[in-house]
Amino acid sequence: SQTIHQWPATLVQPVGSPLSLECTVEGTSNPNLYWYRQAAGRGLQLLFYSVGIGQISSEVPQNLSASRPQDRQFILSSKKLLLSDSGFYLCAWSVLFANTEAFFGQGTRLTVV
Amino acid sequence: GENVEQHPSTLSVQEGDSAVIKCTYSDSASNYFPWYKQELGKGPQLIIDIRSNVGEKKDQRIAVTLNKTAKHFSLHITETQPEDSAVYFCAAYQTGNQFYFGTGTSLTVIP
Q: How far, rounded to the nearest angstrom, does the alpha carbon of residue B109 sit from its chain's CA centroid?
A: 16
Q: What angle do CA B2, A38, B67 make, to 5 degrees?
A: 35
Q: In the structure, what pLDDT confidence band is assigned to residue A8 with cuts at 50, 70 and 90?
A: very high
B99 to A105: CB separation less than 8 angstroms, yes or no: no
pLDDT tens, residue by residue, B27-55: 999 999 999 999 998 999 999 999 998 89
Nearest to A91 by CA among A39, A38, A19: A38
pLDDT tens, residue by residue, A57-109: 988 767 899 999 999 999 999 999 999 999 999 999 999 888 889 999 999 99
B34 to A109: CB separation less than 8 angstroms, yes or no: no
Q: In the structure, what pLDDT confidence band is assigned to residue A41 with cuts at 50, 70 and 90?
A: confident
By residue count, chain A amounts to 113
How many whole angstroms separate alpha carbon B43 and alpha carbon A46?
A: 14
A107 to B41: CB separation less than 8 angstroms, yes or no: yes
